[in-house]
Copies of this chain bind each other. A is one copy, B any other.
Amino acid sequence: MAVNLQVPQESKLSPVNGVDLGFAMAHIRKPNRKDVLIARICEGASVAGVFTQNRFCAAPVQVCQANLAKGKGIRALVVNTGCANAGTGERGLSDARQTTASVANLLAVDPEQVLVFSTGVILENLPMDRLLAGVDQAVSQLGQASWLDAAHAIMTTDTLPKARSRVAEVLGQPVTFTGVSKGAGMIRPNMATMLGFLATDASIAPKVLERWTKAIADASFNRITIDGDTSTNDSFIIIATGKQSAVAVETGDEPHAAAVFDALKATSIELAQAIVRDGEGATKFITVQVEQAASVDEAAKVAYAIAHSPLVKTAFFASDPNLGRILAAVGYAGIADLDQTRIQLYLGDVWVAKDGGRHPDYLEEQGQAVMNEAEITVRVQLGRGSEATTVWTTDLSHDYVSINADYRS
């Protein structure tokens, strides 16, 4: 069902010097699945992360935030699927800490230098015996797994693994950017998404990386939604190993910093869009652009109202140009002083609504032609200012209901 998304080619995913990967099939929830991933990170790397704003944030998210705050330098990530370790109270925190302690022991680092991530069912406890056996196995294989393995090892209801890679020339040197993401449902990231990991061998000072990670999340993972459900476990991590020491960013103001930032951002947008393309039951990839807003926040409110409307989403699934539903969503987005007579609506290149009413020249056939496409852009102009934003989303199909009604995902 994924929209224009294929399994990444392993040969096109460049390893990142300074990151070693290992996985295990630990039977956390289901047998014979890669469900534990370990990434060992070289000494001296910078690591920054952003996490879910869900107040029911999972135990591993709480441990990650605490460990990043300690500033001891992150030396490993450990990820499990099958169980989110969320809604698990004190026991959940203890399980997450036990996991980091186990990894730390095997790698001879401090437990506070390990970040832990879980994804899967909420309100269930981790099977610690199987998880710790998986950790042992994954550590013993460190360096043997590829980024494609990593993408596989973090999947839950995803139908396809998601990985992206690019090599950019900066200061005449090749710099690698490779990352993986996962997610298909419970997707309306708020600061980050349900697991995105991106690494580069550039050297980036921790303070800069922290700032950049927030900005990049806002332009990528924080601009996608599938069902409006913000996960308890969203996490997005950028690792800069510094192994390509010729390309160092100390302040972010260096002339070459922009090239590094842009490559990180472009890779992140592709990883975020891959989640939408693989959205549960998705048959369409929809870009919602809101322009002429008084603020970016206001543009985002309108874009998300459209992107979350079940009526808009089912109309896209049906390829039905029932476009009044989009205007209704604009109207209830929460802009109290919105003047409907200033609104323009475009579907693809077709001008559908002019000054708040049906454009006199608009023909249903024109809307139908755009609706038949697999990738569709909705563009709304609010006539209130010059700010804009873009959100990516999917339609709402029978398969979305089946996936979420028939499986305990």
A residues bordering B, Cβ < 8 Å? 53-57, 84, 86-92, 121-125, 185-186, 188, 190, 227-232, 308-311, 314-315, 317-318, 320, 322-325, 327-332, 335-336, 338-341, 343, 352-353, 355-358, 396-398, 400-402, 404-406, 408
Alpha-carbon separation in the docked complex, A12 to B324 (Å) = 38
Is A356 touching B87 in the complex (CB atoms < 8 A)?
A: yes
Alpha-carbon separation in the docked complex, A175 to B232 (Å) = 52
Is A86 touching B327 in the complex (CB atoms < 8 A)?
A: yes
Alpha-carbon separation in the docked complex, A242 to B160 (Å) = 67
With A54-B332, A358-B89: A308-B402 Cβ-Cβ less than 8 Å: no
Chain B's nearest CB lies how many Å from the CB of A16? 32
Is B405 touching A314 in the complex (CB atoms < 8 A)?
A: yes
| CB-defined A-B contacts under 8 Å, sample of 8 | A56-B332, A86-B327, A89-B356, A123-B323, A123-B327, A188-B332, A317-B405, A320-B405
Is A328 touching B408 in the complex (CB atoms < 8 A)?
A: no
- Total copies of this chain within the assembly: 2
Is A228 touching B308 in the complex (CB atoms < 8 A)?
A: yes
For A355, the chain B residues whose CB sits under 8 A away are 89
Is A57 touching B331 in the complex (CB atoms < 8 A)?
A: yes
Is A87 touching B332 in the complex (CB atoms < 8 A)?
A: no
For A124, the chain B residues whose CB sits under 8 A away are 324, 358
When the two chains form the complex, which single residue of B123, B188, B190, B331 contacts A358, counting CB atoms closer than 8 Å?
B123
For A190, the chain B residues whose CB sits under 8 A away are 332
For A358, the chain B residues whose CB sits under 8 A away are 87-89, 123-125
Chain B's nearest CB lies how many Å from the CB of A307? 12
Is A408 touching B322 in the complex (CB atoms < 8 A)?
A: yes
Is B401 touching A401 in the complex (CB atoms < 8 A)?
A: yes
For A317, the chain B residues whose CB sits under 8 A away are 401, 405
- Minimal Cβ-Cβ distance residue in B for A324: B122
For A317, A340, A343, the residue with the greatest tally of chain B CB atoms inside 10 Å of its CB is A340
With A125-B358, A341-B89: A228-B310 Cβ-Cβ less than 8 Å: yes
- Minimal Cβ-Cβ distance residue in B for A231: B328
When the two chains form the complex, which single residue of B186, B228, B408 contacts A320, counting CB atoms closer than 8 Å?
B408
Alpha-carbon separation in the docked complex, A145 to B168 (Å) = 75
For A320, the chain B residues whose CB sits under 8 A away are 405, 408
Is B327 touching A56 in the complex (CB atoms < 8 A)?
A: yes
